[in-house]
Amino acid sequence: MVDCLFCKIVAGEIPATVVLDGDGWLAFEDIDPKAPVHVLVVPKRHLADIGELGTDPAAAASLVAGIGAVARELGLSAYRTVFNTGAEAGQSVFHTHAHVLGGRNLSWPPG
């Protein structure tokens, strides 16, 4: 059993502001938001990164459905979904999560 922050949030052992609780996924507000809307969508199963997520097609499909559900719930017409993979790309929590960012203009390409 890995010692994992997001597994503890899924288990309710660490509090989070939950946006939606879905079938196989949980969406909660990022503790340090980078945009007016900054929600993390995580699989309930511990999968370290998007590569591991890809080995579980049901979990991957569920997570994508969760991203769409969050966007609908929050009325987001435009948003960015980011998966950081690996510490050098900014991943700091090794339980895969989609960042859903919105509520302001998001430049592209990112800086």
Whether 46 is a known active-site residue: answer no
Query: Site for ligand 5GP (CB under 6 A): which residue of 20, 22, 30, 81?
Result: 30
Contact status: 45 vs Zn ion (CB under 5 A) = no
What CA–CA distance (Å, rounded) separates 16 from 18? 6
The site partner of 56 among Zn ion, ligand 5GP, none (C-beta below 5 to 8 Å per kind) is: none
Sheet containing 98-102: which strands, arranged edge to edge? 18-21, 25-29, 37-43, 98-102, 79-82
- Given 38, 46, 97, 99, which residue is catalytic? 97
The residues, any chain, with a CB within 8 Å of residue 55's CB and separated by 6 or more, are 47
Q: Between the CA atoms of 25, 27, 30 and 35, what dihedral angle is there, to the nearest 10 degrees?
A: 120
Closest approach, Cβ 16 to ligand 5GP, in A, equals: 5
Contact status: 48 vs Zn ion (CB under 5 A) = no
The site partner of 4 among ligand 5GP, Zn ion, none (C-beta below 5 to 8 Å per kind) is: Zn ion
Q: Angle at Cα 45 formed by Cα 22 and Cα 20, nearest 5°?
A: 20
Q: Tell me the residue type at 24.
A: G
Query: Site for ligand 5GP (CB under 6 A): which residue of 46, 69, 81, 84?
Result: 84
Residues that bind Zn ion (CB under 5 A): 4, 6-7, 46, 95
